[in-house]
Structure 1
Amino acid sequence: MRTLCASTLISEVFVIGFAGLVAMKSDDISMTTVWTVCGAGMLLSVLLCGMLGRPGAVQLGWALQIGLIGSGFVVPTMFFLGAVFAGLWWASIHYGRQIDEAKAKWAAQAEASAGPDAA
């Protein structure tokens, strides 16, 4: 699960950065505000990559996904991209857990078939 989730989060770093470039062109928001918010989102994405094994990291990732969708109020395209990345986040968690379970099952079968003489 960690590999799939980390891949999604690293991709989000680029999407947040590009959304910041688009939001910079808005006259309603200062450049400082744009890059403070985008920088925090990018930093959170990178930090979450390292925290994926810890409790609460997946929930924090969901909060990031909600933030991405909410950024659509500033950059309308982010409504779509945020929804896409929320779907990718769900798929990363769902299928990542299935892969982890299959790997554990395979490892247990391999260990059982090796028998006690293999040690």
Structure 2
Amino acid sequence: MARLTKAQRAWRPGMPKKRRSTKVMFASVVLALEAFVAFFATLAVFGLRAKDMSQPLILVAGIVLSIVLISACAFVSRKWGPTLGWILQLVLIAAGFLEPMMFVIGVLFALAWWYALRTGIRIDRENARRDREQAEWDQSHPTKPVN
């Protein structure tokens, strides 16, 4: 028999579906895209700087950074998640010391991260207000049972 998650065990017929956080979705998309960029930047640095630096070090560092960026998606909803995201933005910008174009890419992703958090928080507030107003409306205008 399959194990049920906590949310599945708590579910009852007629329960409204919990709304997903837009901030978490936006921030996760940015982190996932950064993971791909980090992986491809690793390949670029590997190809351009293979004689200057240790090849295994380049590959391991880039793959670890990509994995950390993907893993950070799981923590965006935690209180410290956005702070972790900002730290990862700085790491991506610092990759510019290995490949100068990463300064530009890192800053652009930092702007995307800021925008994702800012806009996601605004949309989540609007959705909470809209849900609250809908609940008040539903409470003051009960539906008549269909016979």
d(CA) in 2 for partners of 1:13 and 1:24?
16
Q: Which of structure 1's runs of 4+ aligned residues deviate more than 6 A?
A: none
After TM superposition, the structure 1 = structure 2 runs for residues 95-114 of structure 1, keeping only pairs within 5 Å, are: 95-114=119-138
Larger radius of gyration: 2
Q: 1:16 aligns with which of 22, 29, 38?
A: 38
d(CA) in 1 for partners of 2:58 and 2:80?
27
Name the residue aligned to 1:4.
Answer: 26
Could you list the runs of 5+ residues in structure 2 that have no partner in the other structure? 1-22
Name the residue aligned to 2:73.
Answer: 49
Q: Deviations over 1:16-41 (max 9, x none)?
A: 01100111020211121112211121
Give, in angstroms, the shift of residue 55 of structure 1: 2.1
Q: TM-score, normalised by structure 2?
A: 0.77
Name the residue aligned to 1:30.
Answer: 54
Higher helix share: 1
d(CA) in 2 for partners of 1:75 and 1:110?
51
Q: Deviations over 1:25-77 (max 9, x none)?
A: 20211121112211121111111111111121111110110011110010111
d(CA) in 2 for partners of 1:58 and 1:35?
27
Residues 76, 85 of structure 2: 8 Å contact kept: no
Name the residue aligned to 2:97.
Answer: 73
Secondary structure of the 2:87 match is helix
Higher relative contact order (CA 8 A, sep 6+): 1
CA RMSD of aligned residues (A): 1.1
